[in-house]
Structure 1
Amino acid sequence: MCKHGDIPSQEPAGQNRRGFLRNAALAGAGTAVAGAGASMLGATPAQAADQSGRPARRPAGTWNPDPAALQFTLAVMPDTQFLYWGSQDSVNRAPQEASFRYIIEHSSDPDANIVFMAHLGDLTEDADASSFQEVDKAFALLDEHGAAYSVLAGNHDVSGDDSRGDTPYLRTMGPQRFKRSKTFAGADATGYNTAHIFQAAGRSWLLLALDWRTTDQGYAWANEVIKAHPQMPVIVTSHDIVASPYDDNVFPYQSGDPENNAVLEANGQAAWDKLIKDNDQVFLTLNGHYWPPGRTTMQNTAGNDVHLHITNYQNRYFGGGGMIRLYHFDLVRNTIDVETINPWILEQEPEARTTLAAELAHVTGAVDNFSVPIDFMQRFAGFAPVPVRPARPAAEELVKGTLAYWRFDGQGAAGTSLSAGQTVRDLSGKGNDLTVVSVPGTAADALTWSADHHPDQPGHASLKFVGGRNPVHGTYLTTAAKAPLNTETFRSGYTIETFVSMPLDWDAGNNGWAALLTRRGSAGAAGKQGKNTDPDEPVVQFAISNNGREPQFNHYPLNDTYPTTNWGHGLVELKWWHLAVVNDGRLTKLYVEGAPVVDNPNRVSVGLTSLGLPWLLGGHEYAGAIDIVFLGNIGDTRIVNRPLSHSEFLTAK
């Protein structure tokens, strides 16, 4: 690294949601890179698989990341120059080798799943051939284990731009080093700019490692590489892109806004203008060179975020001691969690660490440990759109025992209203049709057809309810007075499924305890009494509570006088949720997105009590009267007279 105004070392001239991931497998590493002088080394072989189809596991300590896991880690190593000053007889490979061992060992750790390591340049202090001989020995550790990594030249490794020609760096760390690498995807004609493709989360990710001073020829090559891999997310690494302008003398370097404390330097501006801003695939850039660490977010030409990060610890104890930054990608949580550690120090016994070493084992400042929220599916949609799961015919969802199946596609234009008395047919053929009912005084558009739906819902539509209490208002649906479903008691078990989404203006006081599904008839009228019994509540209610929008299935079974209640966790607004209640004839379990909730009582509850009264969709009664109507969207809803397995749910593949 070289701070502002530092003189570069002088070298003689001439020297990458379930549905998203399911469909995200894209072009592999074998796609040829266009551009004059580009060198491609071929495709990335797939890992051997066992009979389960999972990659075969090798013993811990070997390079063995899981390319399908939805969580993976990119390890980043900034400037290690102070460890390699061969011309001054000052070399210490131990810290870097400790980091390399950590990276190798944690590639096979499912909690880490390190898939790739990117070095950010300034491998040496003096660019001397003797220094690169030692660097070569350290990196041999990665090579021996088949680890996937990239390197690039910093200003202390080379001088001038990427047209400089032969150097000790190029002879040691040039393209020839990667001839056996499964992730190496090619180099430009100079050898100073390289491309790498690694597999993670079921797709291919492209990483470009660019020289510290890239020429127009280099950028042209990089643009061609991206063009040749049009569906891959791209990470750009270089030595000098952004810098942190705030005071680097403040320990622990937490001055300024930690989320927006970096700015483009001249070289970074060139990279932005010539490569990054017009390539929507580039979502993250990483560089060293400057200190202290920092980051910022900029919008590209497409209006999408590009995260630009600087990490460098060479000004800290022992020149950073081979510090690494771990970018933990979580494509389930849509987050990149970042942490900064020093494996060399972590290898030392805690009581043996000096005070300075202890401070560097984990660096926990706001610019060192942080999270980056990123909706991967949405961010990558512009270049790698996920195919929408097509609607499935209703006939395919009529599993054995289906008593009612209501869905809302093909019956009305999105945004148009349903009127009182209108019918929504029961597609099971069992005669449990629904009729629209409005609370007196309700607006005409309180119930409308909607095209919004859960991504795994068979029908691509829903009903949008605009209801509430205070005063009671809204439109709901009901089965007919003599519908067969009204008298069904489900002694052998049942499954009730529905899809739900709630808007941002959902309010606990006005909308809490609104029901998705209710069986009319009060507990008191059914002769129920005992603990937790409310004689005025309905005998069955599938509702959203007023406490954090928790789903609740409260029902009075046939075998007891008081209710069984299943509780789920809080459901966030503006997200679709699949809810399922399954009773196997004895126990009742509530599932959210296919996962059982924590509050599933372990008590026998046989069947559902019935007074022969109708079921309500979107309406709730209390003391025999409608007291609230739902606010939000309800999608496909199905009732089956037996317990279903996950493979039979409406979300099943």
Structure 2
Amino acid sequence: MRDHNHDHDRCLAQAMAETPQCADLHEHPQGGVSRRWLLTAAGLAGGGGLALGGLPALPAAANPDDLPGGAGWRPDRDDQRFTLVVMPDTQYLFDNDRVHPAPLDASLRWILENSREENIVFLTHLGDMTQNGLVSDFAAIGKSFEVLDRAHADYSVLAGNHDINSGTDDQRGNTPYLQAFGPQRFSRSSTFGGASPDGYNTYHVFRAAGRQWLVLALDWRPSATGIAWAQSVIDKHPKLPVIVTTHEIAFADDAGEAHLSDFGRQLWDNLIVKNDQIFLTLNGHFWPPGRTVLKNNAGHDVHVHITNYQDRYFGGGAMIRTYRFDLSRKTIDVRTFSPYMQSIAEERRSELERLEVELTDPANAFSVPIDFGARFNGFDPVPVRGPRPARAVVVPGTLAYWRFDGAADGSPVLQGKIRDQSGNGNDLTRVSLGGGDAALTYSNDHHSDQPAHASLHFLGGKNPIRGAYLRTADDAPLNKATFERGYTIEAFVKLPSDFDDGSHAWCGLLSRMGSGRDAGKTGADPSEPTGTLNLDSGGAAQWAVFPRNQNDIITNWSHLLPKNQWWHIAVVNDGTHSVMYIDGCPVVGNPSTPANGIVTTGEFWMLGAYDYDRIVEQSFYGWLGDVRVVGRALSVREFLIAK
């Protein structure tokens, strides 16, 4: 573990014009001594802004209107993907007469230039902005940050131990840090929420992915008063997920496993563990980088991350870390790289510069799986969509609509009819293949957007044939439908974890009795049914039909459907082509061959079964929710999952 706890640690710079280097001794956070190496610039009179070792110097600031990507700061606040940028200790770039703003300028420029493509919503600096906390240090770094101010970019900063007198807490009074980066700097920021009375603790609320997020930027040593202020901020925003940023919380071992420091343990006990809203903490100060996951009082995960690169070449070169939130994928993807080193032409990069372009080891490039809805449900529960009556989803053109509510969970589906809710008389009755009453039962399990909060649980299989399915009557109107004007077929499905090809491949969700041969089709495999929605051996959905205008089968394929998860499957034909959708998203396996209608032998439809050469070999294995058949093409916004 490496730290830099001393108030005025120094590298004994040699009076060389190029690459001075030296060693420093520092206290371990739990006691003991560790050694670190660093590179700094030699003390050069009037040397502010000089670049060493052939590194290109960039202008200290630029008008955001001149930056690629356009002017201003306009992230997409509703996109389910957004980026939080984290910048740790920049202190060696702003060290008395050793001032090198170019790396920081490059990072800030990258943020502005990529703000739209990366949907960057916020930048947070983790402290130790400067080495000595001098007025001149803050004048230099303050000038660099002006580019963000002019662009109205949203960011937070906080004081590290080198920015102030490290032996004091947030009641220390006025300092050059407070003069340069106190609350007055953020008075025109749209995300700035306020500051503690002393000015050293601030909070910021940004909007992303359609909701608000709260960032607490806490001082190097928040006092009891500061902690009480932070708690009051959380209390005033009881439904917002909270990211805590401060200079010190955790250190990491050489394996990248983070551990709370002594002060971090105090902050954990007095604030973090008690507030379920805090799901992520970020700190610098120590190196190497690392992370861990701790449990709060509610039993939920708190992700604790340390990121710091000042020990690396050129003081880390203002290296940044991007946290790419993807709420749809329930993941945060993390990258660590140096825009400054990237800006140097590859053929001009030195050996040391090449090492800093991007860090791809597991401590610096990783993904964090988070089910955001479940994690935030304790303080901001997602409204559960209630059941919708059949009349609300029997849209014009509905030919059949089957749902399975109204029965006790686990009760068997016996010989009574399951009524067609469309009113067209396409009622269903049970057909048994073996396995007893338990082979087909009612279930309360359902897709979250399903109109009926119920499903059927099928326990079908083969070798031996077992299970049960449902079928329409011989005189059901749906049996004669040819769908020449198009159709939409929807079904909700969930596969169990033990769905496998040996026992369950090609079990049908919805099929027509009667082969292609029976309907006069001779192409492909005429023993296949005239139309079937089923599942292959890996759990991919297949829609295979003999259209009226083709002699061969036309097939749509989905990707493999992950198991133990509900999915909405829809097949839409506009009279010319068929498109399959999974949860409202078109799949890649949609054919371009024209397909009009579905041929029929006039025989019954089966729910939960598939026949080959007129033989039902097994029934479905899994859960099947609402099924709707409409005699026209529906848009995605008309699907059963539409809000």
- TM-score, normalised to structure 1, is 0.87
C-alpha contact (below 8 Å) 1:587/1:602 kept by paired residues? yes
Match of residue 74 from structure 2: 64
Contact 1:9 1:157 in 2 (8 A): no
Deviation at 1:9, TM superposition (A): 3.1
Can you list the C-alpha shifts for 1:534-575, whole angstroms capped at 9, x where unaligned?
x332221100111x3110011112223321111111110122
Q: What amino acid is the match of 1:322?
A: A
Match for residue 149 of structure 2?
A: 143
Deviations 1:257-280 (A, max 9, x none): x5xx11000111111111111111
The alignment status of 1:466 with 2:459, answered yes or no, reads: yes
Quickly say closer, same or farther: Cα 1:85–1:5, change in 2 above 3 A: closer
Does residue 1:221 correspond to 2:221, yes or no? no
Q: Equivalent residue for 2:340?
A: 344
Aligned 1:639-650 pairs, distance under 5 A: 639-650=629-640
Corresponding residue to 2:477 among 451, 473, 484? 484
Equivalent position of 1:368 in the other structure: 364
Give distance in 1, aligned partners of 2:120 and 2:321: 12
Specify the alignment match of 1:555 in structure 2.
Answer: 545
How far did residue 75 of structure 1 move? 0.4
Distance 1:583 1:173 in 2: 60
Q: How far did 1:62 drift?
A: 2.3
Q: Distance in 1 between matches of 2:338 and 2:262?
A: 31
Find the counterpart in structure 2 of residue 438 from structure 1.
432
Contact 1:63 1:105 survives alignment (8 Å): no
Matched, 1:539 2:533: no
**What is the CA RMSD across the aligned residues, in angstroms?**
1.6
Instruction: Give per-residue Cα distances to partners, 1:104-133, cap 9 Å, x unaligned.
Output: 222222xx0111000000011112222111
Does residue 268 in structure 1 map to residue 264 in structure 2? yes
In structure 2, distance between residues paired with 1:582 and 1:200: 33
Matching residue of 2:90? 80
Q: Alignment partner of 1:454: what SS?
A: coil
Q: 8 Å contact 1:339–1:370 — kept in the other structure?
A: yes
Runs of 4+ residues over 3 Å off in structure 1: 2-6
| 2:609 matches 1:619 | yes
Distance 2:461 2:389 in 1: 33
Return 451-460 or 141-150, whichever deviates more: 451-460
- Measure the CA separation in 2 of the matches of 1:4 and 1:346: 27
1:114 equivalent to 2:109? Answer no
Give the counterpart of 1:321 among 305, 317, 321: 317
Larger RCO, structures 1/2 (Cα 8 Å, 6+ apart): 1
For residues 181-580 of structure 1, the aligned pairs below 5 Å read: 181-246=189-254, 256=255, 258=256, 261-409=257-405, 411-419=406-414, 421-440=415-434, 442-530=435-523, 532-533=524-525, 535-546=526-537, 548-580=538-570
How many Å apart are 1:4 and its aligned residue?
4.3
Cα deviation, residue 5, structure 1:
7.1
Of stretches 159-168 and 318-327 in structure 1, the one that deviates more from structure 2 is 159-168
Letter in 1 for 2:91: Q
Q: Helix, strand or coil for the counterpart of 1:273? A: helix
Query: Is 2:132 aligned against 1:126?
Result: yes
Q: Distance in 1 between matches of 2:284 and 2:552?
A: 65
Distance (Å, rounded) in 1 between the aligned partners of 2:176 and 2:3: 25
Q: 1:482, CA displacement in angstroms?
A: 1.3
Asked if structure 2 preserves the Cα contact closer than 8 Å seen for 1:339 and 1:369, the reply is yes
Superposition deviation, residue 398 in structure 1: 1.6
Give the stretch that moved more between structures: 151-160 or 443-452: 443-452
| Partner Cα distance (1:604, 1:452) in 2 | 38
Describe the superposition over 1:264-304 as per-residue Cα deviations: whole angstroms up to 9, x where unpaired. 00111111111111111100000000011100011111111
Q: Where do 5+ consecutive residues of structure 2 fail to align?
A: 10-67
- Distance in 2 between residues matched to 1:642 and 1:180, nearest whole Å: 54
Q: Distance in 2 between matches of 1:593 and 1:341?
A: 35
Cα distance in 1 for partners of 2:69, 2:548 equals 55
- The residue number in structure 2 matching 1:602 is 592
Which residue identity lines up with residue 422 of structure 2 in the other structure?
Answer: S
**CA–CA distance in 2 between the matches of 1:148 and 1:414?**
51
* AA aligned opposite 2:424: K
Shift of 1:450: 1.6
Q: How far apart are residue 212 of structure 1 and its match?
A: 1.3
Shift of 1:209: 0.5
Q: Which residue of 1 aligns with 2:111?
A: 103
1:70–1:221 CA distance, 2 compared to 1 (3 A): same
Unpaired segments of 5 or more residues in structure 1?
A: 11-57, 247-255
Q: Which amino acid letter does the alignment assign opposite residue 383 of structure 2?
A: P
**Which of the numbers 149, 158, 163 marks the counterpart of 1:152?**
158
Report the 3-state secondary structure (helix = DSSP H, G, I; strand = E; otherwise coil) of the residue aligned with 2:111.
Answer: helix
Q: Which residue of 1 aligns with 2:6?
A: 7
Amino acid at match of 1:84: F
- Aligned position for 2:572: 582
Cα contact 1:63–1:107 (8 A) shared by 2: yes
How many Å separate the matches in 2 of 1:204 and 1:629? Answer: 47
SS in 2 for 1:367: coil
Shift of 1:527: 3.1
TM-superposition CA deviations, 1:357-392 (whole Å, max 9, x none): 121011111111110011111111111111112222
Aligned partner letter, 2:461: G
- Tell me the CA shift for residue 180 of structure 1: 1.1
Distance 1:59 1:360, change over 3 A: closer
* 1:611 alignment partner AA: T
Aligned residue for 2:230, secondary structure, equals helix
For residues 606 and 130 of structure 1, what CA distance do their matches in structure 2 show?
76
Matches of 2:468 and 2:342 in 1, distance apart?
Answer: 62
Tell me the distance in 1 between the aligned counterparts of 2:642 and 2:611.
Answer: 33
Q: TM-score, with normalisation over the residues of structure 2?
A: 0.88
1:464 Cα deviation from its structure 2 partner: 1.3
Paired letter, 1:573:
K
Q: How many residues are treated as equivalent by the alignment?
A: 583
In the alignment, what sits opposite 1:169? 177
User: 2-side partners of 1:113 and 1:5: how far apart?
Assistant: 34
Q: 2:145 is paired with a residue of what secondary structure? A: helix
String of CA shifts for 1:122-162, please: whole Å, max 9, x gaps: 01111222211112111222111111111111111122211
- Rounded Cα–Cα distance in structure 1 between residues aligned with 2:107 and 2:499: 49
Alpha-carbon separation, structure 1, partners of 2:148 and 2:357: 22
Which residue identity lines up with residue 429 of structure 2 in the other structure?
A: T
Amino acid at match of 1:265: S
Output the CA distance in 1 between the equivalents of 2:181 and 2:597: 70
Contact 2:219 2:247 in 1 (8 A): yes
Note closer, same or farther for the CA distance 1:5–1:141 as it changes in structure 2 (3 Å cut): closer
